[in-house]
A = this chain, B = another copy of it.
Amino acid sequence: MKTDATHTDLSAKLRSGTAALAALAAALFAAPASADLLIDNVNGITIGEDGEVERFVAVWIDDDGRVRETFEKRERTPKDTDNRVDGKGRVMLPGFIDSHLHIMGLGFGALTLDLSGTNSLAEAQQKIAEFAAANPSRPWILGRGWNQEKWGLGRFPTAAELDAVVADRPVWLERVDGHAGWGNTLAIERAGITAKTADPDGGRIERIAGSGAPAGVFVDRAGDLVSQTIPAPRPAERDLAFAKAQELLHARGITAAADMGTTIEDWQAFRRAGDTGRLTLRVMSYAAGVEAMDLIGGGGPTPWLYDDRLRLNGVKLYLDGALGSRGAWLKRPYADDAGNRGLPLLTPAALRNQMSRAALGNFQPAVHAIGDAADAEVLGAVDELADSYGGDRRWRIEHAQIVDPVDLAAFGQHGIIASMQPVHQTSDRLMAEARLGADRLDGAYAWKSIADTGAVLVFGSDAPVELPDVLAGMAVAISRVDADGQPFGGWRPEEVVDRERALAAYTSNGAYAGYAEKHFGKLVAGQRADFVFLDTDPFLASPDQIRGATVLETWVAGRKVFDIDAEN
């Protein structure tokens, strides 16, 4: 019943460092619009107009929230500003841009109950009761992460044990591995499951001995019987999820993000936030398929809306699946599954047709391609379509995880953007070695090789699949070493990028990849004053220190949207 195994441990990761953000946001947004503002005494670093790293010590911001001017050491700063803030010598970087994530998935994930830390049934029951009490308006109580083995229970938990703590609303909790779900009596009743309900193919209903009535746990596909009855989120829940995602991202220093797969419901949530002045994240949106693209965008991309805070850029297309589940489409069979090459989710004709349909409307296609066959296919499609669709197309390839070395050079053609996720490399390393074998890894997570072709390299997290942790991503990008220091010296360290490239991939290139390079991404005159204060200089620190660095403050358009001090 699990549709995305990678979401399992999400809640635990997300919870750290985000408490009390709602209260902070309320306080911040109540402040009047700032007039001219000078922030001086900063250790400022940005990609400059010419694409090179520049340093500055002060930034002057106009009352539209744009950078009026930056000042280098010993340059004279203006005396006549309305407001002056002392940067206290802290490191200032452009606001981070996450070029590939799922905003609503991140928000919804953060709103569900996480039981992965519980060590007994009683502890889990207490957490469930507390969560239900804290969320009285939720029609269903949803969560995940329980593990009866860890609890020492020696059996599955029961519906009655859930009823004991929540009886007024249905409860549905996924097991830690996603292969079982635990419901209370109300959830089972809503699903219409009784003693007479047969086990579905590929699933098993745990039953009470004797009566055969459902006991509470539903294994594998039996869980679908319950989960399919969970109602779609109400708009208010979507708004809450979006607000939560925005908070989580700002707490990580992220001021702009490419949403990969925006539905009309997602879009409406973004617009509601914009319409009511609650949109602080800059969202570069890629519609969930061509139908959603047409519905959201109409004949073409939207304009930049809400002072450069929202734009439908294009469409997200899926050409294959993921490596872990062997859905990635490979040129040769999986090393650990002879005869299986994964499979394409679109025929060659359908891929070209959908890319053409997007390009005809000047929408930007962003094609998910993980396996080497998928990457070759989309590279070929771009090559064919580039003749018909001239101009500034910025064809995006999402993930580009496993590339046949013979195909690498094609990334340098037609202005392709390689949208990659550094932390996937460390998360996937052992799995990728198993799936591909040692001799097929030359083009795996090959950031540097791809960037060296001339492709525009941008980085993202794929949140909620991974934490939207830019600092961890930077550390991996320049080291190819994981949080535990493994492997020593880095995995295929020839693919590390230098710090300049890593910064660009998380800032200016991310803006370029989303047609935003005239609006934000650099701390230069005329661009939006989006920036972070860090406690660490990423050009001087070790990868470990960068990973452990702290985002102190996050500002969007010259206004603070996150302050670590308000968290404590």
Contacts and interface: CB of A to CB of B under 8 A. Distances in A.
Interface of A: 234-236, 238-239, 264-265, 268-269, 271-272, 275-276, 294-299, 302-303, 305
Given A276-B303, A303-B275, A303-B276, A264 B295 contact: yes
A91 B296 CA distance: 42
A238 B297 CA distance: 12
A303 B277 CA distance: 10
Given A275-B305, A305-B275, A299 B235 contact: yes
Contacts of A294: 234-235
B298 A239 contact: yes
Give the residue among A234, A275, A302, A303 with the most B Cβ atoms within 10 A: A275
A59 B235 CA distance: 43
Nearest to A297: B235
A235 B298 contact: yes
Given A264-B264, A294-B234, A239 B275 contact: no
Contacts of A238: 298
A235, A236, A269, A296: most-surrounded residue (chain B CB, <10 A): A235
The 9 closest A-B pairs by CB, nearest first: A235-B298, A236-B299, A272-B298, A235-B299, A275-B303, A235-B294, A275-B302, A276-B303, A275-B305
23 contacts: A234-B294, A234-B299, A235-B294, A235-B295, A235-B297, A235-B298, A235-B299, A236-B298, A236-B299, A238-B298, A239-B298, A264-B264, A264-B295, A268-B295, A268-B296, A268-B298, A269-B298, A271-B271, A272-B298, A272-B299, A272-B302, A275-B305, A276-B303
A230 B519 CA distance: 42
Nearest to A275: B303
Contacts of A268: 295-296, 298
A264 B264 CA distance: 9
A298 B264 CA distance: 12
A265 B236 CA distance: 21
Contacts of A239: 298-299
Nearest to A273: B298
A302 B269 CA distance: 11
A295 B265 contact: yes
Nearest to A274: B305
Contacts of A236: 298-299
Contacts of A305: 275
Contacts of A298: 235-236, 238-239, 268-269, 272
A134 B295 CA distance: 27
Given A235-B297, A235-B298, A276-B303, 17 more contacts: A234-B294, A234-B299, A235-B294, A235-B295, A235-B299, A236-B298, A236-B299, A238-B298, A239-B298, A239-B299, A264-B264, A264-B295, A268-B296, A269-B298, A272-B299, A275-B302, A275-B303
Contacts of A302: 272, 275
A294 B237 CA distance: 12
A276 B234 CA distance: 29
Nearest to A277: B303
A296 B275 CA distance: 12
Contacts of A276: 303
A510 to B, nearest CB: 23
A301 B235 CA distance: 12
A295 B235 CA distance: 7
Contacts of A234: 294, 299
Contacts of A272: 298-299, 302
A275 B264 CA distance: 17
A302 B275 CA distance: 8
A296 B303 CA distance: 19
A185 B122 CA distance: 73
Contacts of A303: 275-276
Nearest to A304: B275
A239 to B, nearest CB: 6
A283 to B, nearest CB: 15
A515 to B, nearest CB: 16
A270 B268 CA distance: 14
A299 B272 CA distance: 9
A529 B271 CA distance: 28
A272 B299 CA distance: 9
A59 to B, nearest CB: 30
Contacts of A297: 235
Nearest to A272: B298
Nearest to A305: B275
A297 B236 CA distance: 10
Contacts of A265: 295
Best-buried of A295, A299, A302 by chain B (most CB within 10 Å): A299
